[in-house]
Chains A and B, each alone.
Chain A
Amino acid sequence: SQQGEEDPQALSIQEGENATMNCSYKTSINNLQWYRQNSGRGLVHLILIRSNEREKHSGRLRVTLDTSKKSSSLLITASRAADTASYFCATVPTGANNLFFGTGTRLTVIP
């Protein structure tokens, strides 16, 4: 399976703290994407990082990619209660057209 793995499976923090989630994958990739899912809803695209990029920012989000370790991290700074959701990484393997999703990190931000 090309499915990735997120770590931790669940994370609980206080509002205002930073949240870091990690993703590991198995094959070479074209790009890696992070998505967010509120409970019982569809996924929303957050950010895409290409295989030749090492770091990318979007608002309070910072994504890093280490292709030598086949891993990525998502940092959410100054978390808010509204950030409570599940976060998934998804990879597009080299030569493929499809996304392969990880198992997700469930983030709870306590007000």
Chain B
Amino acid sequence: DGGITQSPKYLFRKEGQNVTLSCEQNLNHDAMYWYRQDPGQGLRLIYYSQIVNDFQKGDIAEGYSVSREKKESFPLTVTSAQKNPTAFYLCASSRVEEQFFGPGTRLTVL
């Protein structure tokens, strides 16, 4: 899991609530990414950021929001607009081509 931390490991949310997932890296990487993984599936890109104060939507950005105020941090907010938020969320960072992943946060909506 390298120098990327995600918290919490498990998160439970009631329907209609927003929730923020934390991602911090100490690898001095410029680029950071958020992915969603559903059971038995590959990863789908939610948002990515190539540089501080800039971020771009990925394939499935609807219902999610991010910020990149510091190089080390890229928090993801899952809003109440996300219709099916229960999933495993993975954060990653990269310097050039290889991506380094955090351990993931498993979000369950009750």
Chain A residues in contact with chain B, CB under 8 A? Answer: 1, 3-4, 31, 33, 40-45, 48, 88, 90, 92, 97-104
Contact = CB atoms under 8 A, between A and B. Distances in A.
A48 B103 contact: no
Contacts of B99: 43, 45, 99
Given A97-B50, A98-B45, A98-B48, 4 more contacts: A88-B43, A97-B31, A101-B43, A104-B42
Interface string B74-110: 0000000000000010101000011111111010000
B16 interface: no
Nearest first, the 7 A-B pairs at minimum CB distance are: A42-B101, A101-B42, A101-B43, A43-B101, A45-B98, A103-B42, A42-B103
Interface size class of B (residues with CB under 8 A): 20 to 34
Nearest to B101: A42
Interface string B14-44: 0000000000000000010101000011111
A68 B90 CA distance: 32
Given A42-B90, A103-B42, A104-B42, A33 B98 contact: yes
Interface of B: 1, 4, 31, 33, 35, 40-45, 48, 50, 58-59, 88, 90, 92, 97-104, 106
A41 B42 contact: no
A44 B101 CA distance: 7
A51 to B, nearest CB: 12
Given A43-B101, A44-B101, A102 B1 contact: no
